[in-house]
Amino acid sequence: IMEVPGPDIFTPNYMGVIAWSKPIEEYELIQHTVHHFAYIYEGDAETTTVALKTDPFKGADWIPEKFISEMEREARESGVRMLETKVYVDTGPLLWTDYRIEVTGTPPPSTEGVGVGGIPLFVKIILTALAVAFAIYIVSWVVDKYILGIFRRKPGLEDVKPAWGKEALILDVRDSEEHWERTITPTETLEGMSEQELRDKLDQIAEEEVPPAPEIPLLALVAVGGLAVLGVGAAVALAPKRKE
């Protein structure tokens, strides 16, 4: 393990590419947030998991909303959108020091995931949010996992959307318009709309930008079902007979 000086105030030092982190079994999931954009967006995504060590922090002082708010603000300024966040902490000691944070978001438009000083962008977002929201001093960090994949839109938009307030809905509309490079609706216009009008506008954007999944013909479903049964039958046929 090699430790080198960090490139900014949020990472005074950090570990090199080769590093060991605690097994996930030693951590407890303390926060799981599905961001609003996850109910609208479908497409390429990056998932970054970072294991980090901080100065001692009291668990009672952890405020999920504050952390999420800072991450979303930093993400917007960086040209990406947050989709899902999971925060794991080693809660065994009285004071927390070991974290494992997994963030999924839209890929950067042109920076290929690299932030200031060569730090992966979503790592920079995590470290900045921790520093700003809680004034946590980062002792060291390492990227534990990095995945490029396809994000599938989260179901249940109709169930969660009624709970979103006007301020959040305006941000969601603005996020969607900027991401898909649509004509930006003036802020004054959005502020003059009712919450239901904003929800309807969000629905319209989602319908136009994210086409519904194609329906599978009934004949194809029957064929798939037949193959599945055949597969099970073959497995049973190959299994050794139990001795009587």
In-domain check, residue 101:
yes
Instruction: Report the number of distinct structural domains present in the chain.
Output: 2
Residue-wise pLDDT for 206-235, tens only, equals: 888 876 655 544 444 343 333 333 333 333
* Cβ–Cβ under 8 Å, residues 80 and 138: no
User: Residue 183 pLDDT more than 90?
Assistant: yes
Within this chain, do residues 19 and 45 fall inside the same structural domain, yes or no?
A: yes
Please say which residue of 151, 168, 197 terminates a domain: 151
**Domain housing 167:** 157-209
Span 124-144, average pLDDT: 91
Rounded distance between C-alpha atoms, residue 152 and residue 198, angstroms: 23
Judged by DSSP in three states, 124 sits in helix
Are both 44 and 164 inside the same structural domain? no
Residue 34 tokens, joined: 């599905």
In this predicted model, what pLDDT tens digit does every residue of 74-125 receive, in sequence order? 999 998 999 999 999 999 888 999 999 999 999 987 654 454 456 889 999 9
Residue 39 class from Cβ within 10 Å (0-12 exposed, 13-18 middle, 19+ buried)? buried
Structure tokens at 229: 């049964």
Strands 43-57 and 28-34: unpaired
Beta-bridge partners for 48:
103, 146
Assigned domain for 63 exists: yes
221, part of any domain: no
Bridge partners of 103? 48, 85
Q: At what angle do helices 64-78 and 121-134 cross, to 10 degrees?
A: 140
Residue 127 in domain: yes
Question: Considering the domain boundaries, does residue 218 fall inside one?
Answer: no
pLDDT at 35: 94
- CA dist., res. 198 & res. 204, Å (int): 10
Q: How confident is the model at residue 203 (pLDDT cuts 50, 70, 90)?
A: confident
Residue 4 clears pLDDT 50, i.e. is over it: no
